Amino acid sequence: MKKLYLDYAATTPLCEEAFEAMRVCFADNFGNANSQHSFGREAAKTVAEARATVARVLNAEPNEIYFTSCGTESDNWALKGAALARGDAKGRIIVSATEHPAVYHSAEQLRNAGFDVCELPVDGDGLVHAEELEKAITPDTFLVSVMYANNETGAVQPVKRLAEIAHAHGALFHTDAVQAAGALPLDVKALGADMMSLSAHKFYGPKGVGALYVRNGVNLVPLIAGGEQERAKRGGTTDTPAIAGMAAALKRAYDNLDAENARVASVRDAFVAYVESNVQGAVLNGPKDPELRLPNNADFRFGGIDGEALLFALDLAGICASGGSACSSGSKEPSRTLLAMGLSPSEAKGSVRFTFGRHTDVADALYAAEQVANAVKRLRALQ
Ligand code: PLP
């Protein structure tokens, strides 16, 4: 049976470039990057090169890039580090209603600690409107955190505009770019981001490594207190192989960004066109405008079909997709993001996310779409 992986938003396979960069570290370049001897210096050189590569893609300075253990840590650090730097639990933090759990659970913890946390609503496509931020922002707002692209619908937020509003009111702007990285430009200066979270495993790098861009001048208290690593801002022995793998994967993704985006968008569009014309009641969740949606994302609901039953049927047919996001799988609750967009709980539970990638082509997309049509037909026959 043909097996198709259509869950690239959950994670991606390691690319050759990342694998090779990591192999060298595992095989020979195993020193502790903080050791003073030649083994340490060799590892430190690899880390410095990786930092410079990431900085180049972000149009940042190398000393503005901090390596972390994942996107979740980067998000936690951005929010809690900025809050801890205040000295007291006063002031407002604004987040959108569709943030990843790494942001909204961090915001919730800060609310429990006494901060005033405000959630921005989204429209039916999952987009934040600048006017909503204008209404919510107060003189004591010190941080606005809105994701660059959503992990369920692929909705691309107007981060540049939101950052301008945050700055006009004296607040910092953080963006979770975990889903955007590898698909959208990450120029922090053009976007106006003071902090930006990344995670390597979403762009064909290894799992368990991320980065946080922190603009020089932003005061962030360390989340992982420890030694002198990462300029004494993030303790823990440096994971040289993971960092080298992350940088190699990011470079590969941005060396070929436009061509791969166009290719994967045509794969996704073939899937969407087939499903829309062959599956009765299929509705695409999120923005229809390709400029406002990640090129690899198709998130559908199928009137009256239970998403879990459909995923199960698809898995049996060799199609690996996802209900909402991998981070909330196992949860019986409907997706917070889809509810915030105005979907009913049953519509939200009936939604399935298909995300395409480097190893899917148009023939795969059409095959998968046919399997979706068959599975929906079979499930409807059972109703
Ligand atoms: N933020 C977003 C938007 C994500 O999609 C994810 C992962 O799914 C994360 C943060 C967390 O990243 P990590 O898996 O590296 O912890």
pLDDT tens digit string along 243-263?
999 999 999 999 999 999 999
Query: In this predicted structure, what is the pLDDT of residue 304?
Result: 87
Is 297:154 a contact under the CB 8 Å cutoff? yes
Q: Which two tokens stand for residue 43?
A: 């590892």
274 closest CA partner among 367, 168, 341: 367
* 324 pLDDT higher than 90: no
Report the SS3 class of residue 233. coil
* 315 pLDDT higher than 80: yes
Which of 178, 197, 204, 212 best tests ligand 1's pocket when mutated (most atoms within 8 Å of CB)?
A: 178
**Ligand 1 atom closest to Cα of residue 327:** 8
Across the chain, what does the average pLDDT equal?
96
Ligand 1 centroid to 158 CA: how many Å? 19
Is 149:155 a contact under the CB 8 Å cutoff? yes
Query: What's the half-sphere exposure (Cβ side, CA atoms, 13 Å) at 7?
Result: 20
Ligand 1 centroid to 8 CA: how many Å? 12
Report the SS3 class of residue 255. helix
Q: Residue 291: is it exposed, middle or buried by C-beta count within 10 angstroms (0-12/13-18/19+)? A: exposed
Distance between CA atoms of residues 145 and 151, nearest Å: 15
> Position 235: which residue type?
G
Ligand 1 centroid to 144 CA: how many Å? 18
Which of 72, 75, 299 best tests ligand 1's pocket when mutated (most atoms within 8 Å of CB)?
A: 72
**Is residue 15 annotated as part of the catalytic site, yes or no?**
no
Query: In this predicted structure, what is the pLDDT of residue 18?
Result: 98
Is 97:120 a contact under the CB 8 Å cutoff? yes
Radius of gyration over alpha carbons of the chain, in Å? Answer: 21
Distance between CA atoms of residues 119 and 98, nearest Å: 9
Query: In this predicted structure, what is the pLDDT of residue 325?
Result: 54
Q: What are the pocket residues of ligand 1 if the criterion is a CB atom closer than 6 Å to any ligand atom?
A: 70-72, 75, 100, 102, 147, 151, 176, 178-179, 199, 210, 325, 327
Is 33:240 a contact under the CB 8 Å cutoff? yes
345 closest CA partner among 376, 311, 306, 288: 306
Which of 99, 106, 202, 297 best tests ligand 1's pocket when mutated (most atoms within 8 Å of CB)?
A: 202
pLDDT tens digit string along 2-12?
999 999 999 99
Mean pLDDT of 42-46: 98
pLDDT band with cut points at 50, 70 and 90 for residue 203: very high
pLDDT tens digit string along 57-107?
999 999 999 999 999 999 999 999 999 999 898 999 999 999 999 999 999
Query: In this predicted structure, what is the pLDDT of residue 333?
Result: 83
Report the SS3 class of residue 302. strand
pLDDT band with cut points at 50, 70 and 90 for residue 309: very high
Which residue among 25, 118, 320, 327 is the active-site one? 327
pLDDT band with cut points at 50, 70 and 90 for residue 24: very high
Q: Within 195-294, where are the H helices? A: 229-232, 240-255, 257-278
pTM of the model: 0.97
Query: In this predicted structure, what is the pLDDT of residue 303?
Result: 86
Report the SS3 class of residue 39. helix
Distance between CA atoms of residues 160 and 240, nearest Å: 33
Report the SS3 class of residue 5. strand
Query: In this predicted structure, what is the pLDDT of residue 68?
Result: 98
